[in-house]
Amino acid sequence: MWGLSLRVLLSILVVLGYLSCGYGGATSNFVRSEWPSVDIPLDDEVFAVPEGHNSPQQVHITQGDYDGKAVLISWVTMDEAGPSRVQYGTSRKYGFTAEGRVTNYTFYHYKSGYIHHCLVDGLQTYNSLSTLDHYMQSIAQAVLFVGDLSYADRYQYNDVGIRWDSWGRFVERSTAYQPWIWTAGNHEIEYMPWMGEVVPFKSYLHRYATPHAASQSSSPLWYAIRRASAHIIVLSSYSPFVKYTPQYMWLYEELQRVDRKKTPWLIVLMHVPMYNSNEAHFMEGESIRAVFESWFVQSKVDLVFAGHVHAYE
């Protein structure tokens, strides 16, 4: 049911070409919309709650281990916890069962639904979902997401959690079928002391699981995976990264584990770009550049994808 492909495709919401086949990416014109943009009404059909009592919603998947033979499947049930169970198989008989875990949280007076995370491992590397219509329409087999998910922090009080739910349903048409590799951005911090919310990344960490332990990371905010011909490293721009910190020590060790014979591509994801000529967020990445740039050069990192600045260069 839930196979993972080890053929990597670089896609940051824009489809690029297959690395292994050497297809070139497509360049298109981009015109930034007027600011501020207008919110989609919460009663729009794209945010619709699925019919049926306790129906799963906000389904999303990501790679579940270091080498791409497992998948983390997450979903939310609103009425009751129910079983955290996934049935899967190589045919529609679904002869295997995996048990997961369930969590929830409060944010101000908002109480989340029951958030399930289930690890399915021992999978084949070919993606059995490739026959679905949207796979036929798009060659993308994974999304490398460089942070700022729902922008729920632009809202106040209980609307923060409500926006997380609506965004989860909105992107489900992709996240339920294409593995999204998550990176945390500044809009996931949600430090709101006037509401009594002072734990950074509270909503994000409850909702979006990552396979950090598989790469010996001590935090879900930084981790690594190997996917097809790529070794992908995810860094946290908003966690300590100077000398002797956990992220610093982990990255040093992880770079030693890169095997170019197995994964000739080395890709880094981070939210804040190390270089930026735009006046927005100018020089914000200078500190992380000072710490890690020499490592990237020494390790011959092939690609670094970043977000934060709402302009391309």
Cα–Cα distance, 286 to 282 (Å, whole number): 9
Cα–Cα distance, 212 to 206 (Å, whole number): 14
**310 counts as catalytic:** no
Q: How far is CA 303 from CA 12, 121, 280, in A?
A: 13, 29, 23
Burial degree of 293 (CB within 10 A; 0-12, 13-18, 19+): middle
Question: Among the options 60, 109, 271, 281, which is catalytic?
Answer: 281
The token pair that represents 181 in the structure block: 């590799």
Residue 145's contacts (CB-CB under 8 Å, 6 or more residues apart) are 12, 13, 180, 181, 182, 183
Contact (Cβ atoms closer than 8 angstroms) between residue 189 and residue 201? yes
**Which residue's structure tokens are 């940051």?**
12
Contact (Cβ atoms closer than 8 angstroms) between residue 189 and residue 221? no
Q: Is the peptide bond before 36 cis (omega within 30 degrees of 0)?
A: yes
Residues with catalytic roles: 281
